[in-house]
Amino acid sequence: MLLQDRIALVTGAGSGIGLAVAKAYAREGATVLLLGRDQSKLETAFDAITAAGGSASIAPVDLENELGAVPQLVKGVHERYGKLDILVNNAGQLGVMTPLAAYDPVKWEQVMRVNLTAPFFLTRELMPLLAQSDNAAVINVVSTVAFAGRAYWGAYAASKAALANLTETWAGELQKTAIRMNTVNPGGTATAMRAAAFPGEDPESIPSAEQIAPVFLYLASEHSKERGQHLKARDWMDWRAP
């Protein structure tokens, strides 16, 4: 299997794209740590993965308010597995769709914490464990608005642009290591967040979270050599391991 003996941590793994990626990784033999803020969603994901023969554990952490719990999480991963091979910073919040002039500063801070500060802090804390892997992949989930701002997308667009930039910076600093860092832009994908952003859209008219998962398999695998690159999930929907 593609990810045999690999240890993966996926944030926002209780629903949407994170859940689909976690399931895809488990199907390929990885042990998947499911991080999210809603314990019941994580338990449902855990049950689905283990019922299908996969290996998983859950890590309930609210990335907005509980970053102080991360060192304890890292200690647990260290004691149990001794390394981390794959980190997917997927959890995200849309915030509000409103003109910047009317953007609530509290909401701004919330979006920035979940979409930007949490991936930075989590990745930094997990770096010693990623360094124990012979081929580690950090995948930061961004958005089309990361590369071109769009009216009314406020904190979400700014946070994703910063995350894409951070990825380039960090990938450069990791050039001589076995840790590759890249981004994935899912493109419009039928999830709760997409429905909130585009309430009139027929979810059947865009790919499902399962359909866009192959790019996450590719980047996590030994086949990927990219560093600091921005991959569009749409371009990789047909990718299968050679």
- Write down the least CB distance from residue 38 to ligand NDP, Å: 4
- The answer to whether residue 154 forms part of the interface with ligand NDP (CB under 6 A) is no
User: Which of these is catalytic: 25, 152, 156, 218?
Assistant: 156
Confirm whether 156 is a catalytic residue: yes
- Write down the least CB distance from residue 230 to ligand NDP, Å: 12
Q: Rounded to an integer, what distance in angstroms lies between the CA atom of residue 99 and that of residue 104?
A: 10
Determine what percent of the chain falls in helix, strand and coil, rounding each to the nearest 5.
Answer: 45, 15, 40
Which H helix or E strand runs over 230?
Answer: strand 230-232
HEC states along 76-141?
Answer: HHHHHHCCCCEEEECCCCCCCCCCHHHCCHHHHHHHHHHHHHHHHHHHHHHHHHHCCCCCEEEEEE
- Name the one range near ligand NDP by CB under 6 A: 22-30, 91-99, 165-173, 213-221: 91-99
Site string for ligand NDP, 21-50 (x = CB under 6 A): ---------------xxx--x---------
Mind telling me the catalytic residues? Answer: 156
Which positions lie near ligand NDP, rule CB under 6 A? 12, 14-18, 36-38, 41, 62-64, 90-93, 114, 141, 143, 186, 188-189, 191-194
